[in-house]
Chain A
Amino acid sequence: MGMSPLPFARRRLLAATGGFLAVSLVRPARAQSQWDVLRELLFENRPVHDGTGLIELEAPTRAHDAALVEVAVKALVPQTPERYIRAIHLLIDRNPAPRAAVFKLTPATGSASITTRIRVNEYTPVRAVAETDDGALFMVERFVKASGGCSAPASKDKEAAYARLGKMKLLAPERFRAGEPNELRLLISHPQYSGMQIDQLTRNWIPADHLETIRITWNGEPLVEVETDISLSEDPLLGFHLQPEGPGELRVEAADIKGRRFVQSWQLGLGS
């Protein structure tokens, strides 16, 4: 046909409409927003419902540091084996890599609420899309004013950044309780080079080097899994929940795009 391949959703739509919409689809109409394109790429033609009442997105209206914007997705319903949020997609429309992270969550979390820190490259909608266990999608969004977050110079020089590479820190509540969701905050030291930053000494672009996956297990069972990209800030933060039945071992395995693996475990007892 001499046409570049269309995403499946478009092809299906074309077929369904007998080509009536072909012109506006091949040359996207001006009205088609960045979000329309993104939605089609990520979710094809699955409906994306209003997520109000299921999740909330907390993000600053105007960020003080575009390279470090703390955002939280609050789940308004508990995670149960019968009904749970199986993933939260965190999307930043106008970032060079708009899919900042996908957090895959199990019922063992007790709560699907997550916290992280993102880079914001220009004024943009930030979206959280919750995917429930039945595959339905629910979205909430906030507009964040910040710019330059992806190309902002690293806060440490390379030597200092790599000296601490992969070091992890787990912040657990003083009272870690069975039978209810406990918030845990994990820090992983990684420069998260975006490929858009310049080395101060050599004047060369620093090649991208960032985390790709973070897998967290509780007593060997999957708890949270994160797929990520350049949009997470330097030294990524991951706040997540765990609803334990008793004491156990939390294990984190992170991998970056250079194939490095970082593993650490913590024994978590129950507080009184």
Chain B
Amino acid sequence: MIGPAIDRRALLGGFAGFTAATLPRTTRAAPLPLVEVAPGLFVHVGPHQDFTPANRGGIANLALIVGGEAVAVVDAGGSPAQARDFLEAIAARTDRPVRHAILTHHHPDHVMGAAVFRAIGARIWGHARLEAALLDRFTTYRAAMERLLGAAIAGAEPVPVEESVAVETPRRIDLGGRVLELRAWPTAHTDCDLTVLDAATGTLVAGDLLFLERIPVIDGSLLGWLRVMDELARIPARFVVPGHGPANAVWPEALAPQRRYLEDLAAAVRRAIARGRSLSALLAEPPPAGDWLLSSDNHPRNITAAYKELEWE
């Protein structure tokens, strides 16, 4: 596991680079560490933390895919400050332009840096429902992030989703001899989940449709997520980059812990409903969360979401 961002800054202190001129300059920090998990596919591993000024909202995994002519990023980071560091790290790896910023869903740790990529001319890609989801929640998210992160969030704006992907219609991005396939999914983790398949390396960038180590969060549909996982498992990839967890893992085996968690949760909640146990009774004596990190708040939330969904079965 990676230590807190402050340690990385101390380690890499003094590394200077450019800051996107159009955006306000906040905390100086070294570029983000990137791991090359496959040729030309780099991942920044987000720490398993809540939002803090030190991590500047940067708790999700971010990916960089380098093609013959252009590069794409998958997710934009949790703040403009983190996104600028991401850009710096990209510039240290390639001189090809960032033409595409692909957003896997609307959660702030993935999208709050998007305006930085838009400012340098990247096209914004997302699920057909992403823009509405972003607009719906942006004000609330930004207010919360201002409180939790402070200056790092300055410059965060909702971005128009210029290239949208519909559920039944995958789309492709050609980076120059390297084609990415983007697929939008029915409601699962959220109502606007998107995955990116890098066929060249057999790597699926799954966004938050896959959590490892950090507890999955249900903000869409528990049953929908389980159904989507069945379909995801058929994607012919060899490796996966999860939205939270290590830089990569073996596909589709990596789905197993999350599937177990969600199936156990569904079973426990169904049992409770069948026995006439109320939601509050279940929350007072919840089923175990297992070894998942950050479960103290998120597990009860998941139980609530599951109960609300399953009591109508």
Contact = CB atoms under 8 A, between A and B. Distances in A.
Given A58-B280, A64-B300, A72-B278, A235 B312 contact: yes
Given A169-B311, A173-B276, A200 B301 contact: no
Given A72-B278, A198-B136, 8 more contacts: A60-B283, A64-B304, A68-B308, A70-B278, A153-B136, A169-B311, A185-B278, A189-B312
A157 B191 CA distance: 10
B129 A200 contact: yes
Interface of B: 129, 132-133, 135-137, 140, 191, 276, 278-280, 283, 297, 300-301, 304-305, 308, 311-312
10 contacts: A65-B301, A65-B305, A68-B308, A70-B283, A117-B279, A157-B191, A185-B278, A187-B312, A201-B132, A235-B308
B279 A70 contact: yes
Nearest to A183: B276
Interface string A179-214: 000010101010000000010110100000000000
Contact of A70 (B129, B280, B312): B280
Contact of B276 (A68, A72, A164, A171): A171
Given A65-B301, A148-B140, A239-B278, A200 B308 contact: no
Q: Is the interface of B mostly helix, strand, loop or mixed?
A: helix
Chain A: interface secondary structure?
A: loop
Contacts of A24: none
B276 A64 contact: no
A109 interface: no
Contacts, number: 54
Contact of B278 (A60, A115, A169): A115
The 3 closest A-B CB pairs, nearest first, are: A200-B132, A70-B280, A64-B300
A226 to B, nearest CB: 18
Contact of B135 (A169, A174, A185, A203): A203
Contacts of B312: 164, 169, 187, 189, 235
A155 interface: yes
Nearest to A187: B311
Contacts of B278: 70, 72, 115, 185, 239
A65 B304 contact: yes
A72 B277 CA distance: 13
A64 B217 CA distance: 12
B146 to A, nearest CB: 15
B280 A200 contact: no
A65 B218 CA distance: 12
Nearest to B144: A148
Contacts of A72: 278, 280
B267 to A, nearest CB: 19
Contact of B297 (A64, A153, A157, A200): A64
Contacts of A235: 308, 312
A155 B301 CA distance: 14
B159 to A, nearest CB: 16
Contacts of A157: 191
Nearest to B303: A64
A242 to B, nearest CB: 15
A148 B280 CA distance: 20
Interface string A203-233: 1000000000000000000000000000000
Nearest to A117: B279
Nearest to B140: A148
Interface string A55-69: 000101000110010
Contacts of B129: 200
Contacts of B132: 200-201, 203
Nearest to B129: A200
Contacts of A60: 280, 283
Given A60-B280, A64-B297, A70-B278, A155 B136 contact: no
